Amino acid sequence: MDLLKVTIDGIEIEVPAGTTILEAARKIGKNVPPAMCYYSKLEGSGGKCRTCIVKVSQGSTKDPRPMPKPVASCRTQVMDGMVVLNETSPEIMEARASVVEFLLINHPLDCPICDQAGECHLQDLGYAHGKQKTRYEFKRRTFDKIDIGPYVQLHMTRCILCYRCVFTCDQITNDRVHGVLNRGDSAEISTYIEKSIENDFSGNVIDVCPVGALTDKTFRFKNRVWFTKPVNAHRNCTTDKCSGKVQLWYKGNEVIRVTARKDQWGEVEEFICNTCRFEKKETTDWVIEGPAKVDNKSVIGQNHYELSYDKPVVPPKISLFADHPSFKDDSKFIN
């Protein structure tokens, strides 16, 4: 197959036609644009949150003109000879900081009581690009909490409308009962007439949600995630299409949560069924494989705070945290 050459922040890589800028950056593994709505496993996702924007300073070898506006790297395909600026473009860093500002102005910032804290992508994003002080002085938008079925709670106030859960329900589960009501800043995720979602795979919406808007009712307020210990495990699951490969989150000897396994970009590797997720909470239900690594990007996950006052923080450098002495030793993550 023909390979196309693309340069991102000065690093060159060759990728097959059809690859997006974001996927190319992930292949390089450095200066990867943050993605809050794109999800490689969900068809049609991306393009909405605008955090992954980059500047295309040269369209292609054939047509070297720059693109006039920032583009969403998750939905823009690479052309041969394309030159992309991400973290090396001050304009992009500024535009990204504004997107983060927009995402946060109506966010409740209730991390101290949110189950997602510690594994929340918005928290990481805010840490990397957010400002210390808000310029927003108005009342923040709120919604009532909604129980969607026995296992999942929807806390719309925290939602960033990434549409991932909508795509998940549409593509992974059998019924299309989950969607968006209203528009603009009144838009909300909802299920059909507040119907509960009763579907073998509905629990996956919890894993794809980048923030704490969809949480696991069987885990709510049980513990902070950074006090729990993830372990890879599997079982011979009989549900059609369920891989049975999970992460068990231990507190002492007790399994207090079961999730799908996630890759280095925070995406679910293989979706799991509700039986595995909500009903198998004994060690004896599982074949234990061993400790799982935790994404070391998460700020709280590593108990590592660094404040910079009043100016946007330096671009996120994964290595910044990986180099930290407390992370040299993997066992630290799981204690």
Partner 1 sequence: MGIKILTKDIDVPGIQNFQVYRSYGGYNSVEKALRMTPDEVVEEVKKSGLRGRGGAGFPTGMKWSFIDKKSGKPRHLVCNADESEPGTFKDRYLMSKNPHILIEGMITSSFALGANLSYIYVRGELMYVVNILQRAIDEAYANGFLGKNILGSGYDLELHVTCGAGAYICGEETALIESLEGKRGNPRIKPPFPAISGVWSNPTVVNNVESIAAVPYIVNNGGEEYAKIGIGKSTGTKLISASGHINKPGVYEIEMGVTVEEFIYSEEYCGGIWKGRKLKAVVAGGSSVPILPANLILKLANGEPRLMSYESLSDGGFATGTMLGSGGFIVFDETASIVHNLWNFERFYHHESCGQCSPCREGTGWVEKILHKFLDGHATMEDIDLVADVAKKIEGNTICPLGDAAAWPVASAIKHFRPEFEWYVTNPEEACKPGAYYTGDKLVLA
Q: 3-class DSSP state for residue 226?
A: helix
CA nearest to 94, candidates 129, 119, 59, 121: 129
The residue range among 33-41, 55-63, 177-185, 230-238 that interacts with ligand FES, by the rule CB under 6 A, is: 33-41
On the CB side of 109, CA atoms within 13 Å amount to 15
Q: In the set 4, 15, 24, 35, which binds ligand FES (CB under 6 A)?
A: 35
- Told to check if 60 binds partner 1 by CB under 8 A, we report no
What single-letter amino acid sits at 86? Answer: N
The residue range among 30-38, 83-91, 103-111, 113-121 that interacts with ligand FES, by the rule CB under 6 A, is: 30-38
Ranges within 169-208 binding partner 1 (CB under 8 A): 179-180, 182-187
x/- map, 38-77, ligand FES, by CB under 6 A? x-------xxxxxxx-------------------x-x---
How many other CB atoms are found less than 10 A from the CB of residue 18?
10
> Which of ligand FES, partner 1, none lies near 92, with the C-beta cut-off 5 to 8 A by kind?
none
Question: What's CA 140's distance to the chain center, in Å?
Answer: 23
State the DSSP H helix or E strand holding residue 126, giving kind and residue range, or none if neither: helix 121-129
CA torsion sign for 322, 335, 293, 202 is negative
- φ, ψ for residue 310, nearest 5 deg: 65, 0
Please state, in angstroms and rounded to a whole number, the distance separating the CA atoms of residues 180 and 249: 31
Smallest gap from Cβ 193 to ligand FES, in A, equals 29
- Told to check if 37 binds ligand FES by CB under 6 A, we report yes
The residue range among 132-140, 147-155, 200-208, 252-260 that interacts with partner 1, by the rule CB under 8 A, is: 132-140
Task: Report the DSSP beta bridge partners of residue 254.
Answer: 251
Footprint of ligand FES (CB under 6 A): 35-38, 46-52, 72, 74
Footprint of partner 1 (CB under 8 A): 46-51, 53, 68-70, 72, 75, 95, 98-99, 101-103, 105-106, 135-136, 138, 160-161, 163, 179-180, 182-187
